[in-house]
């Protein structure tokens, strides 16, 4: 499916998984316009990090990294969690070491079966 997210999302919508590691998703309760503005800020800050690295400007790089962090916090990807049920933050944890391990193992087994079937 074109444009589909290649990274699985946990059933509760809190994380996506990349190479077996959980990464916190943005707060789904953000207004679409606010989310769009924050993503634009995040992308601009990331571009600035790259430009500062290319120029070897450490002060500019620190400022740009701070802007990345600020945007990610505003999106809910860092800082206090956006959910209210008291569940811990498992951001950056290996999925196999979390309560999502069974879900991910079943998902991985299913994806392996799909690859095998499509190879026939």
Report if residue 47 sits inside a domain: no
**Tens digit of each residue's pLDDT (9 = 90 or more) over 21-57:** 999 999 999 999 999 999 999 999 999 999 999 999 9
Report if residue 21 sits inside a domain: yes
pLDDT of residue 108: 81
Report if residue 71 sits inside a domain: no
Report if residue 107 sits inside a domain: yes
Three-class SS of 53-109: HHHCCHHHHHHHHHHHHHHHHHHCCCCCCCCCCCCCCCCCCEHHHCCCHHHHHHHHH
Higher pLDDT, 117 or 69: 69
Note the pTM of the prediction, 2 decimals: 0.82
Domain range holding 10?
Answer: 1-25+92-120
Report if residue 72 sits inside a domain: no
Paired tokens of 33: 């316009």
Q: How many CB atoms lie within 10 A of CB 80?
A: 8
Report if residue 76 sits inside a domain: no
- Whether the predicted pLDDT of 87 surpasses 90: yes
pLDDT of residue 71: 98
Report if residue 15 sits inside a domain: yes
- CB-side neighbour CA atoms (13 Å) of 120: 4
CB of 93 closer than 8 Å to CB of 21: yes
| Domain count of the fold of the chain | 1
Query: How much of the chain exceeds pLDDT 70, in percent?
Result: 88
């Amino acid at each position: 499916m074109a444009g589909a997210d290649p990274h699985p999302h946990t059933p509760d919508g809190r994380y996506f998984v990349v190479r077996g590691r959980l990464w916190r998703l943005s707060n789904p309760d953000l207004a679409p316009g606010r989310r769009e503005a924050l993503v634009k800020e995040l992308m601009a800050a990331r571009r600035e990090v790259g430009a500062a690295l290319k120029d070897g400007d450490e002060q500019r790089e620190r400022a740009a990294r701070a802007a990345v962090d600020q945007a990610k916090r505003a999106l809910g990807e860092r800082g206090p969690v956006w959910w209210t049920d008291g569940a811990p933050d498992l951001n950056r944890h290996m999925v196999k070491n979390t309560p999502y391990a069974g879900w991910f193992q079943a998902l991985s087994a299913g994806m392996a079966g799909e690859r095998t079937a499509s190879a026939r």
